[in-house]
């Protein structure tokens, strides 16, 4: 499954 890519951005 795709990592929660830009979820660490604001």
Interface ranges with other proteins (CB under 8 A): 1-10
What minimum distance in Å lies between the beta carbon of 7 and other proteins? 7
What minimum distance in Å lies between the beta carbon of 10 and other proteins? 5
Rounded distance, CA 9 to CA 4, Å? 10
Query: End-to-end distance of the chain based on CA atoms, in angstroms?
Result: 22
Rounded distance, CA 4 to CA 1, Å? 9
């Amino acid at each position: 499954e795709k990592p929660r890519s830009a979820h660490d951005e604001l």
